[in-house]
A = this chain, B = another copy of it.
Amino acid sequence: MAKISSPTETERCIESLTAVFQKHAGRDGNNSKLSKAKFLILMNTELGAFTKNQKDPGVLDRLMKKLDLDSDGQLDFQEFLNLIGSLAIACHDSFIKSTSPQK
């Protein structure tokens, strides 16, 4: 039997991101997709640091359209992961920029 040890921070984060999607997707009984309404709630409650700096109310509408690759009006888990990936890339780029020597 495999030894069970505490999950690492990275493992915990993977589980946590999965759980956030499931929590919000499950609000209406369809736990495999996020409708637009559920996407807006998720953005405002879980990613408030991103949404509250947006002055333009159309930003979330356009973001939803961009993420919804198969245009079914909902986000599946892979489409949600693309959102998380984009935010992580923005976070990473800002770190790289801040640590690069100034020319």
Using a CB–CB distance below 8 Å, which chain A residues touch chain B? 2-3, 5, 7-18, 20-22, 31-32, 45-50, 52-53, 77-78, 81, 84-85, 87-89, 91-92, 95-96, 99
Q: Are B13 and A16 in touch, CB under 8 angstroms? A: yes
Q: Are A95 and B47 in touch, CB under 8 angstroms? A: no
Tell me how many chains of this kind the complex includes. 2
14 new A-B contacts at CB < 8 Å, known A77-B88, A77-B92 = A2-B52, A3-B52, A5-B48, A8-B49, A9-B46, A10-B16, A10-B17, A10-B47, A18-B88, A18-B91, A21-B92, A22-B92, A22-B95, A81-B85
CA distance in complex: A64, B50 (Å)? 32
Report the minimal beta-carbon distance from A94 to chain B, rounded to whole angstroms: 9
Q: Are B47 and A8 in touch, CB under 8 angstroms? A: yes
Q: Are B8 and A48 in touch, CB under 8 angstroms? A: yes
A91 and B14 in contact, given A9-B20, A31-B99 (Cβ under 8 angstroms): yes
Q: Which residues on B sit within 8 Å (CB–CB) of A5? A: 48-49
